[in-house]
Structure 1
Amino acid sequence: MNTKSKLLMNKHLHNVEEVLRCSNATPFRGYEGQGYRCCYCTQQCMKPGDLKAHTALTHEGIKKAYFGYAHIEKFNIKLDITDLHCTLCGSTIDNIEALVNHLINDHNKLIHTDIKSHIIPFKFDGGEGLRCFICSNRFNAFKALLEHMKLHIRNFVCQVCDAGFINRSQLRYHFQTHKTGTFKCDHCEKVFSTSLKCKSHMRSVHEKSVINKCGFCEATFVSYRHKQKHQLEEHGVDCQVKCEACGRSFQSQGSYRKHLRANHLMERRFECTFCDLKFFTVTGLNRHMVKHTGARDFKCDVCHKAFGRRNTLREHMRIHTDDRRFKCEYCGLAFVQKCSWRGHMRSRHGEEV
């Protein structure tokens, strides 16, 4: 991300954080058949009102963690603004635009008004279907309502068909539909508007019949894993590849060869300049280098603690979101970190895991 994009992204993040800090607006990550997903943890609720209550009760004060890794071209944030009000003075607010004006004029809050808003607001009234609060149209599925919102939030407009989009990434993907006859299938006469559609067609129609065809019958499969399962269940053939050196089994020849080069052939071409250790990949070397350089480039936005690795920061964020994903099967105690769970299993139940 260049400097201009970073500055623009920071403005968007600041605006979103001010809206969340000063109102009861609730961010969510869409509806995917299992419920409305929380932005700060793995919680899913079938009703948006339940998610709103969960967020207010569980994540009060955490207003930034989920948005820290967004990219400006793809950034948008879905907000539940049902019964919207200002938490600074209690005023009832009708919509996001009115809330922004209220925060600027009545509370002297800094809101950047020189940028296009990437906030997608929703109101859930509990009636039949899902209603667009701007034009009152109703939809049977959340995905249809989300697609409909592009009619109202036209930050980026297609010059060919005048379709509107919330962010630039959506516009770029859409624009590919106007390019006809560009990508031709290597196996048949079909032509596709995008490279992605062409590759998807070749994988699903042509390549599966060759690469993922069962060697014992005429069945074909969309993936190598599905073919393996079929051959084991129907023909009693275990297609897993076993390493003769250590006994580990692998789902594919590729995984086995990678394991062999890294662990037994010792093809470690990436050498640390501080010590004698060598690594199989650049990623492994960079992860190791943090021990020598002491670099801590990944900072927690909640408690400001810094970490040398992004994964360590992600694991740390579970403390703030109270994401207790490691559960003891004996007594039901749950833990944020795997090491704590392992220690508990060893000391309380005498089991090494």
Structure 2
Amino acid sequence: MITHSGGKRFQCEVCGKAFHFSSLFRRHEITHSGEKLYECKQDGQTFISQTSLQKHRITHTGNVRFKCKVCGKDFAYPRLLRIHQKTHTGEKPYECKQCGKAFATSSELKRHGITHTGEKPFKCQQCGKAFARSGDLHTHGRTHTGEKPYVCKQCGKAFARSCDLRTHQRTHTGEKPYVCKQCGKAFATSRPLHTHGRIHTGEKPYECKQCGKAFAASHLLHAHVRTHTGEKPYECKQCGKAFASSSYLKIHGRTHTGEKPYECKQCGKAFARSSHLQIHGRTHTGEKPYECKQCGKAFARSSHLQIHGRTHTRKKTFGCQQCGKTFASSRHLRRHRRMHTGEKPYECEQCGKAFTAAYYLQIHKQTHTGERPYECKWCGKAFTWSSHLHSHEQTHTGEKPYDCKQCGKAFATSSKLQIHRIVHTGEKPYECKQCGKAFATSGDLHKHERTHTGEKPYVCKECGKAFARSCDLRRHERTHTGEKPYVCKQCGKAFTQSSYLHSHEQTHPGEKP
């Protein structure tokens, strides 16, 4: 039935919306019925208006006439080109009178207006969910039908929404049209750019009502809220493991498929997560963007800076229930617990040796490959890990930044300071299950256990002699190379071992205790 609504003669009985013209009213009615009158003869897709069908046909003919002079992108209609050009100029002439937010197009402003009114006139007949726009209702309908009409011509992947297809196509082209004006970082879609902008402004508009923690993006808040509720709605169909967010489930899925879509252009190494590729890239560039405000030390990862920060505060919040030892991170506590349980979940595929931490397995693997990518600038000595190189470089510089607060003795690394502290406490939490002997560090326990097993995993490549400890192998290797890394600062005499240097230094006047 057609009723009158002020100057608009045609009013919809379902949602109350009114129109000036009957043609617009009839087209609107179709949004409620779901009827699609105009069909594409080439692929069978249907549309509710002839103009929508005409726009779709251009995807088959390739008849594109309007080109952007800034980026070269093509458009079928001048109106679409004008809207696109505003992404370059930043022009937003349409302003919301209620909150002042500005938009590039009137349709975007109209869409935004609904956030103030809360109006959702378009309701799904299957599940009752309501939407502010008819287009959103149509898209939602595909969650019930499973329809995915938008297909990628390059890989065949199908999508329920055309915008998702456009975003996906950029994974093939590498196109990132949305560029941050402050730092130049580019994005495939506008939403991540908008979220990224908050890194510069510091804005965190999404606040948790339970703990007050604030976030730059709404999806980060949603994921965080689940840490309070314990909700994990996303379940892996292969192993049953549940996750708080869909992105975590997607990443986890790659542990089953083995998929590693993010590849390093410099060395070819592939990763399951883009963030892991980004962190890996810093091993090539040497970039360390996370700097400690207290001592100036820089790190490649924010998590490493966070853990380092606790060396200043001495805050160790993660305690072991078996021995009472506390740790600065939950990861270190999990690794420590394995000393009590004997669990070694990380196994070498080549020799079958197992380890308590992935880090130790990675170090071990390089005993098979012989790879030592980190080289000392002073003496040319190569190391398996950057941390080992950093510790070694301090033998040249003499730097010892870690002081014991009880006796004042200084150390080159925090781990050596930690081991030294046990001299004062007398604590020996690591006990041998075979003979009961106790040790201050887990490393000392592992070395001791080899006296029972007879294991000598460190083999000299030149003569085949085997050793129970890596330090003994390094010392032995110097008999072949003639290397003498420990040099007396007073007379220049060099030694193969630090203990020999220490004994020698006492022969100089004033050096005897």
TM-score normalised to structure 2 length: 0.23
Q: Give the number of the structure whose alpha-carbon radius of gyration is greater.
A: 2
TM-score (norm 1): 0.31
